[in-house]
Amino acid sequence: MKILSGIVSLATVAQLSYATAIVAPRDGAHLDYGAVALVAASELLNRGLPDSPTNGYAPGNVSCPATRPTIRNAASLSTNETEWLPVRRNNTIEPMKDLLSRANISGFDAAAYIEKFRDNATALPNIGIAISGGGYRALMYGAGFLAAADSRTVNATGKGGIGGLLQSATYLSGLSGGSWLVGSIYANNFSSVTTLRDGSPGSSVWQFGNSIFQGPKEDGISILNTAEYYKNIKGQVDSKKNAGYEVSITDYWGRALSYQLINATDGGPAYTFSSIALQDNFKNGETPFPVIVADGRAPGDIIVSLNTTVYEFNPFEMGSWDPTTFGFAPTRYLGSKFDGGVVPTSASCVRGFDNAGYVFGTSSTLFNQFILNINGSSSSLLTEALASVLKSIGQDNNDIAQYSPNPFFHYNPATNRDADVTELSLVDGGEDLQNIPLHPLIQPVRHLDVIFAVDASADTEFFWPNGTALVATYERSLNATMANGTSFPSIPDVNTFVNLGLNNRPTFFGCDPKNTTSLTPLVVYVPHAPYITHSNVSTFDPAYDDAQRNLIIQNGYDVATMGNGTVDAEWLTCLGCAVLSRSWDRTETAVPDACTNCFKRYCWDGSLNSTVPANYNPEFKVAGVVVEESGSGKVVPGEVVAVVVGVVVSGLMMF
């Protein structure tokens, strides 16, 4: 076994990361935030708003509200979102002022600037964060980024920290594995990453050591063993089927996910996505606006970014901005029999169809393969149920989530591809290669200034990103038929990403507003890279012990902060410049010299190198884990295979 100077044992790392997760704040850390983190780490908060009328997984009939649910066209934001936005924007002012003051932009008084425009929200930066797909790798890497961006994380507001970026953001979107992260945070009362990571006694939330095949450990909430786990999942899905609703493999997948993501008995079968809107912290604008993305696909069709109808789920609505469907249904009343945009007076309304786990599963149907790999000997009942589903929908459609009845039945028939079908089929949000959920954030009606695109895609041989997701979104924005007024900065080809190192460090796209339309956001691309561990695990790895989970989360934290400023001591300054860039343009404020220098270093300058690169296998940014195949002594680059020997911690602290 090779031992490097300056490393600590895996056991010590594990102790640092969860036995002693709360460490003394660094110089400059905000003690009030540290106190918040201390309280949050003491227990994992339960959500208090299961909203299914059946108190279970099955949807149920309810009386319609006085104003009956309708489908609205997508020409504008919903009334609910429009009324919520000023509340949220007001709550971002103080965190933004604090973050940008700590950015310490030479020659610019950030606090005075924010204060000057505090009563004019349209002048201030409007921030979005998008977390990519990529299975558990994406969840853990994205978790590290959000931990770094969250002022509740101890040390996140210290030297080199970007804490407060999350509190300054208006929107937070997730897709596939990123939807698991975003969904889990909101399904657990907007708990911090640290709180979810450290858990609470008896909780199975974020316990990935037992794979989704096994279910929670025996001391988890109400689960005795794997057979009991499978029985519970089947029983929950059967309740939906017995209530008269079509089910798909995604129902089983969503239920299995929920045991790991929602801190409630049996994975919270009565928890709905729309009930986020009923939470006080959301109503009071204390959290960003969560959005989860899926793609539309007719059974048997092959989809690409240029022809896909992209759907979003938010606490108020589910639907699409695209000129195909171009409509939104109220999320809380999905499952109601909409016809031509209305629920007929002869029909009841339905609630509970938008089960939280089912929404997470809809965004990640690619992982239905996990469920299909269940060993039949473990649960013959569940295996038979899956076989029955496959027989009804066909083997080729096992990645579909069925939304039946179709909320857009007979709606907008001139362009809506699904207007004549009673079942709306949705699939993994990354199937069209737009693996970063940027689509909701580049809609002109949302007026985003800067989007942090957190990319854990596995585009290369060794499971690192190469910008494919950005290229797909850029190419779609050029398509006059589907773009629908969206604008996106120019993006180079994937070979250029690798050859110029744009996929190995944060890169800004769309820096010069003179070269873009007024609607084009600045995109801060934050690609997955190795800082302290080989975190480029396979998308389909189903299990991670706590030590490996914590190292991958920590690696994401270090990417977000560039090693707490050890790789670039001016990273926080440059991040602040990116946040302020579009605001300066609107207010005709001169760009400080410090930011001009940042843009020279971090902005893509338009140059290309499209030659085919060698296999991309990046080195550690700081220093990191030694990985060996068991018994062979062979150091394996690129993928964690067996034994983690140690991690260099000099200059870094576990958050």
Closest Cα to residue 526, out of 511, 498, 507? 507
Closest Cα to residue 184, out of 143, 226, 232? 143
Q: Name the DSSP letter for residue 453.
A: E
- Cβ count near 357 (within 10 Å): 30
- Tell me: pLDDT of 45 over 70: no
pLDDT tens digits, residue range 223-241? 667 778 888 888 999 999 9
In the chain, what are the domains? 7-648 (3.40.1090.10)
Residue whose structure tokens are 């769309």 = 510
- The pLDDT assigned to 220 comes to 53
Mean pLDDT across the stretch 357-366? 93
Mean pLDDT across the stretch 611-635? 65
Structure tokens at 348: 């009841």
- Tell me: pLDDT of 151 over 60: yes
Alpha helices in 563-653 (DSSP H): 571-587, 593-602
Mean pLDDT of the chain: 85
Residue 480 pLDDT class (50, 70, 90 cuts): confident
Among 204-218, 253-267, 640-654, name the most confident range. 253-267
Tell me the one-letter amino acid at 81. E
Percent of the chain with pLDDT over 90: 71
- Tell me: pLDDT of 8 over 60: no
Percent of the chain with pLDDT over 70: 81
Closest Cα to residue 545, out of 258, 207, 139, 218? 207
Residue 297 pLDDT class (50, 70, 90 cuts): confident
- The pLDDT assigned to 502 comes to 98
pLDDT tens digits, residue range 422-467? 999 999 999 999 999 999 999 999 999 999 999 999 999 999 999 9
- Tell me: pLDDT of 648 over 50: no
pLDDT tens digits, residue range 558-612? 999 999 999 999 999 999 999 999 999 999 999 999 999 999 999 999 999 999 9
- Tell me: pLDDT of 152 over 70: yes
Residue whose structure tokens are 């929200």 = 121
Residue whose structure tokens are 């980024």 = 145
- Name the pTM for this structure: 0.89
Structure tokens at 643: 């034994």
**Contact of 525 with 502, CB cutoff 8 Å:** yes
pLDDT tens digits, residue range 153-177? 999 999 999 999 999 999 999 999 9
- The pLDDT assigned to 519 comes to 80
- The pLDDT assigned to 200 comes to 80
- The pLDDT assigned to 369 comes to 62
CA-CA distance, 429 to 311, in Å (whole number)?
A: 8
Mean pLDDT across the stretch 314-328? 98
- The pLDDT assigned to 19 comes to 33
Mean pLDDT across the stretch 277-302? 91
In sequence order, which residues have a C-beta less than 8 Å from that of residue 37 and are 6 or more positions away? 22, 152, 153, 154, 192, 194
SS in 3 state form for 73-102? ECCCCCHHHHHHHHHHHHHHHHHHHHHHHH
CA-CA distance, 65 to 547, in Å (whole number)?
A: 49
CA 32, distance to chain mean position in Å, is 27
